[in-house]
Amino acid sequence: MTEKYIIKQLSIFSENKAGKLAAIAKIFLDTGVSIQAFNIAEANNFGVVRAIVDKPEVAFNEFAKQNYALQYTDVLAIKMKDVPGGLYEVANLLGGLGINIEYAYAFRSGEYGALIVKVTNPREAALKIVEAGIELLPAKDYNF
Amino acid sequence: MAYYNEKIETMPKGELAKLQYQELKKLVTRLYDSSAFYHKKMDETGVKPADITSITDITKLPFMKKTDLRDNYPDGLVCVPHDDLVRYHVSSGTTGKPTVVAYTQNDIDLWSECVARSLVSCGIGKKDVLQVCYGYGLFTGGLGLHYGGEKVGATVIPASTGNSERQIELIQDLKTTVIACTPSYFVHLIDVAKKMGVDFKKDTLLRTAILGAEPWTDAMRRYIYAESGVTAHNIFGTSEISGPMFTDCSELNGMHICGDIAYTEIIDPKTGEQLPPGEKGELTITVLKKEAIPMIRYRIGDITSIIEGDCACGRTSPRIDRLQGRVDDMLIIRGINVFPSAIEHALLKNPYLTSHFMIEVSRTGPLDDMLVKVELKPDAMTDSITGLMEMQMRTERALRDALNVSAKIELCPPNSLPRFEGKAKRVIDHRVI
Ligand SMILES: [Zn+2]
């Protein structure tokens, strides 16, 4: 029952070099894939581009065809109230549920905001979160 | 255990050293008297034949290089009357003039005996049918294997190179048991046979391959055995020392360099110092009994090491490891000799990396910095930054262990580094020295 909340995020290996991000963005453009949420994590000389898109398979196949190193990562999207303290409320609740966040990034869509979280066991976490009465956004809203 | 010349091949090491000394003394004395080139060279070094009192005194003698042959083109180094020559071979130089090598009848006989000993050490004998798919002609490969094969009494097929389908037909029709060719050509033959519907394991008697003339790896040996059931032996030699001469024995653990024929040294390519067994350096060979163009302390230009310990086959001559790249490719990083091939070897042990890499060397202040860029395998991708950094650090540790000098690793996306056709140019040296 928590399966619908599992969002397939694309994690793409990239060099920390000018132009590399543009090259990645161009592939999304060329394949007609629209980006819902986006984040870049950087290390010394490389980065991982994380993207939530409407057609992950289409994008994945094209990136793979162009020899990118990439993988799917299961993440959750927690709805946040668009008011001061919205993030605090969510973070606090997750802490209370004993859910450890590996990384998170926020984005806004329409009248609400959402927090994308990568947790160790997303299915188990989704169940706990829903049972605690926090609203999770279903995958279909992102990965059509 | 079969030997071609048991007495010499299993001679106790002390006795062998004495024999080597006697041969070297004779050779140096003859050269000092008959070779204007070597006489001058010895005088410049300040060494006389009388200074050679044991085989270890060989280090007093000057080196020879390929340029010595090239500078004395075509026959300036020949030190026997021309009537005594029975053959020339010519190698096409990659740069400039070719090099010419000349042989007396004794030279040909000795070369053939050397190949014969090597073939017997691979388990080859009278019962075998040897298909020689090295080029016949100016190149030494074809004729070298041919004469050695005849000497052990095998039936030799002088197939030479090319026409792969015909080669496979010959293997089937003439019941070839041994093939001699380059490793890449044999891998190609495996593919051609498959396309022809020929299974080497079931449809042929081919069981042994003598592969050389280009670098190859143990991984290729395993691949060849799995695909064709053929045990592949490595053969080494260059035209300057006669031609193909030395193979690994049935133990498949290094190539025996027949001690009565050639004296093997590994030297530091920078200082010329002799290195102990196990240490990597430049292979240097003295052919003790060559008549027409003797080569003393000839610097082959290939990197390898002498394998320590005795071989289970009973042969007492030293063994050398696979050739691991050329001296010209050697880098000196913080005073330590580093070979790109050693870097490649260390990288290939990591399942998450491809074999594509580049080396960048620079200098900040007094210290050299080495950066190794290597491509990540697409399926090794992880979403975790710490996971990727862990791969990077693990590779850095592996390189430091293998090279004794530290290098920074940079993980790169697949397909982002240059691809090379032919000889790879993997080193970019930014140092201004
Ligand atoms: Zn042996």
Tell me if B330 sits within 8 A of B269, measured CB to CB.
yes
Best B383, B386, B392 residue to mutate vs chain A (most A CBs within 10 Å): B383
Q: Spell out which residues of chain A touch residue B382, defining contact as CB-CB under 8 Å.
A: 11, 71
Contacts of B414 in chain A (CB under 8 A): 67-69
Residues of chain A contacting residue B389, judged by C-beta atoms under 8 Å apart: 43-44
Q: In this complex, do B380 and A102 lie within 8 Å of one another by their Cβ atoms?
A: no
Cβ separation A71–B415 shorter than 8 A: no
CATH 3.30.2130.10: which residues of chain A? Answer: 4-73, 75-141
B345 vs B217, B219, B310, B403, CA distance in Å? 10, 11, 25, 11
Residue of chain A whose Cα is closest to the Cα of B375 = A69
ipTM of the complex: 0.87
Edge-to-edge strands of the sheet including B353-364? B408-412, B367-376, B353-364, B427-429
* Region B235-249 average pLDDT: 96
Write down the pLDDT at residue B16: 96
The DSSP H or E segment spanning A108 is strand A101-109
Range with top average pLDDT, A96-110, B10-24, B94-108: B10-24
Phi and psi at B292, nearest 5°, equal: -65, -55
Instruction: Give the range with max mean pLDDT: A18-27, A82-91, B12-21, B347-356.
Output: B12-21
pLDDT at A143: 61
Q: Please indicate if any CB of chain A lies within 8 Å of the CB of B332.
A: no
Task: List the beta bridge partners of residue A37.
Answer: A52
Q: What is the pLDDT of residue B341?
A: 82
Where is average pLDDT lowest: A56-65, B97-106, B412-421? B412-421
Considering only CB atoms, B376 lies closest to which of A13, A50, A118, namely: A13
Q: How far is Cα B131 from Cα B159, in angstroms, rounded to an integer?
A: 6
Cβ-based contacts of B379 with chain A (< 8 Å): 69
CB contacts, 8 Å: A15 with chain B: 412-413, 416
Q: Which residues of A touch B377 (CB under 8 A)?
A: 69
When CB atoms are compared, the residue of A41, A71, A73 closest to B385 is A41
Going by pLDDT thresholds of 50, 70 and 90, the confidence category of residue B432 is confident
CB within 8 A of A131, min separation 6: which ones?
Answer: none
Q: Is the pLDDT of residue B67 over 50?
A: yes
Q: What is the pLDDT of residue B95?
A: 60
Least confidently predicted of A50-64, A74-88, B371-385: A74-88
Do B253 and B307 contact (CB within 8 A), yes or no?
yes
Angle in degrees, 0-180, between the axes of helices B164-173 and B183-195, rounded to the nearest 10: 80
Contact A86, A113 (CB under 8 A): yes
Helix or strand run (H / E) with residue A122: helix A122-131
Strand order in the sheet with A70-80: A35-42, A46-53, A7-15, A70-80, A112-119, A101-109
B1-328 belongs to CATH 3.40.50.12780:
yes
**DSSP code for B241:** G
Q: What is the pLDDT of residue B94?
A: 58
Q: Are strands B281-287 and B298-304 parallel, antiparallel or unpaired?
A: antiparallel
CATH among 3.40.50.1580, 3.30.1360.20, 3.40.630.10, 3.30.2130.10 for A75-141: 3.30.2130.10
The angle subtended at Cα B302 by Cα B121 and Cα B329, nearest 5°, is: 150
Q: At what angle do helices B105-121 and B140-151 cross, to 10 degrees?
A: 70
Residues 6+ apart with CB under 8 A from B103: B85, B86, B87, B88, B89, B111, B242, B292
Question: In the CATH hierarchy, which top-level class contains the domain B336-429?
Answer: alpha beta
Q: Specify whether the CB–CB gap between B205 and B177 falls below 8 A.
A: yes
Q: How far is C-alpha B422 from the geometric centre of its chain's CA atoms?
A: 18
Residue A46, chain B, CB below 8 Å: the answer is yes
Closest chain B CA to residue A45: B410
Residue A118 and residue A8 in contact, taking contact as beta carbons nearer than 8 Å: no
Q: Flag if A68 and B378 touch (Cβ within 8 Å).
A: yes
d(Cα B416, Cα B433) in Å, to the nearest integer? 30
| pLDDT grade for A144, boundaries at 50, 70 and 90 | very low
Residues B426, B357: Cα–Cα separation, whole Å = 7
| pLDDT of residue A111 exceeding 90 | no
How far off is chain B from A72, nearest CA to CA, in Å?
Answer: 8
Which strands sit side by side in the sheet containing B155-157, from one edge to the other? B155-157, B129-132, B178-181, B208-212, B231-238, B243-247
- Whether pLDDT at B1 is above 80: no
**Nearest residue in chain A measured CA to CA from B384:** A48
Write the residue in A9, A13, A50 that is nearest to B381 by C-beta.
Answer: A13
| B384 neighbourhood in chain A, CB within 8 Å | 102
* pLDDT confidence bin for A121, thresholds 50/70/90: very high
Amino acid A49: pLDDT: 95
Look up the pTM and report it: 0.75
Interhelix angle B183-195/B218-228, rounded to 10 degrees, is 20
What is the Å distance from ligand 1's center to A49 Cα?
54
The separation between the first and the last C-alpha atoms of chain A, rounded to the nearest angstrom, is 18
- Please give the distance, rounded to the nearest whole angstrom, from the Cα atom of residue B141 to the centre of ligand 1: 22
Which value, to the nearest 10 degrees, does the dihedral of the CA atoms of residues A83, A87, A90, A93 take?
A: -110
Which among A13, A50, A103 is the top mutation candidate for probing chain B, defined by the most B β-carbons within 10 Å of its own β-carbon?
A13
Contact status of A69 with chain B (Cβ, < 8 Å) = yes
Of A8, A46, A118, A119, which to mutate for an interface test with B (greatest number of B Cβ within 10 Å)?
A: A46
Complete DSSP assignment for A26-80: HHHHHTTPPEEEEEEEE-SSEEEEEEEES-HHHHHHHHHHTT--EEEEEEEEEEE
CATH number for region A4-73: 3.30.2130.10
| Residue A32: band (very low, low, confident or very high) from pLDDT cuts 50, 70, 90 | very high
- Determine, for residues A71 and B382 on separate chains, whether the beta-carbon distance falls below 8 Å: yes
Q: By the CB < 8 Å criterion, does B226 face chain A?
A: no
Amino acid present at B154: A
Share the mean pLDDT of chain B: 93
Locate the domains of chain B by residue range.
Answer: 1-328, 336-429
For residue B330, count other CB atoms closer than 10 A to its CB.
Answer: 20
- pLDDT at residue B422, rounded to an integer: 65
Whole-number Å distance, alpha carbon B53 to ligand 1 midpoint, is 29
CB atoms within 10 A of CB B143: 24
